[in-house]
Amino acid sequence: MTQQPISSSGTFTLDANGSDPLTVHRLGFGAMRITGPGIWGDPGDLDNARAVLRKAVELGVDFIDTADSYGPEVSERLIRDALHPYDGIVIATKGGLTRQGPDQWTPVGRPEYLRQCVQMSLRRLGVDRIDLWQLHRIDPNVPADEQFGVIAEMVTEGLIRHVGLSEVGVAELQAAQQTLKVVSVQNLYHAGLRQSEELLAHCTVHNIGFIPWFPLGNRELLAEGGVVAEQAARLGVLPSQVALAWLLQRSPVMLPIPGTGSIAHLEENCAAAEVNLDEAAIAAIDALA
């Protein structure tokens, strides 16, 4: 592994054809797992969590994804503690999910609440503008136009630089685009679960960033004896590295954000940027669908 393996993942430019392009390396870091069990409360070792964030940057990561609901608030605070003032690092965050306890999430899309989400994220992260703010979920109990409208207002006011959506389909993306310039989407997607394939194809054609959350899938996907593990053994790398390399080679708009609270796992994940899958490996993993 080179000193900054992330550079081998290539780059992607959000809003490439717009007035405010923002370029990041394609393999980023997801900051959900630096919180406590159930994504609730502080991690067991705060110093280790900060060390993981700093190590990610040392390895070349310049795109870190978080959310106000991770902890809640814990992940954003740790990012500020470890990395502020973010020289050359894009911090993407999300809002619109509330927390009632460990592993409990409820969308709230009332305009005044979304505005509060943005204002509080600005405060916790210590910035005047959020580079990429993503609506964590579209609240089905609030008219979508009201949610998109207040986000558009905050873009105009200079609080948000770029806008993304999370867990949407093509129709929802297109509806949002009537009001907003959407530069990215973030959906559940990995080699073993491709229910967002239509959205990925749409994003590839229209050069919209696609951020797959849970990019390594479940334990079964990487388990010994499985297709991914077999290809990893043949290539002399780790199953997790094959899963991430497959995503990077799947589409030029793919921006995987594997997360971990372990420096060892972080180093393994970042090294995936240097893995090139051959046609046999890609065909074998493609067949999982």
pLDDT over 90 (residue 2): no
Q: What is the mean pLDDT of the chain?
A: 98
Residues 169-175 have a mean pLDDT of 98
Tell me the per-residue pLDDT of 14-56, one tens digit each, with 9 for 90 and over: 999 999 999 999 999 999 999 999 999 999 999 999 999 999 9
Which CATH fold would you assign to the domain 5-217+251-260?
Answer: TIM Barrel (3.20.20)
Positions annotated as catalytic residues are 70
Q: Is residue 289 very low, low, confident or very high in pLDDT (cuts 50, 70, 90)?
A: confident
The pLDDT tens digits for 105-115 are 999 999 999 99
Tokens standing for residue 113: 């609440």
pLDDT in tens, 133-142: 999 999 999 9
pTM of the model: 0.98
pLDDT bracket for residue 173 (50, 70, 90): very high
Average pLDDT score over residue span 92-121: 98
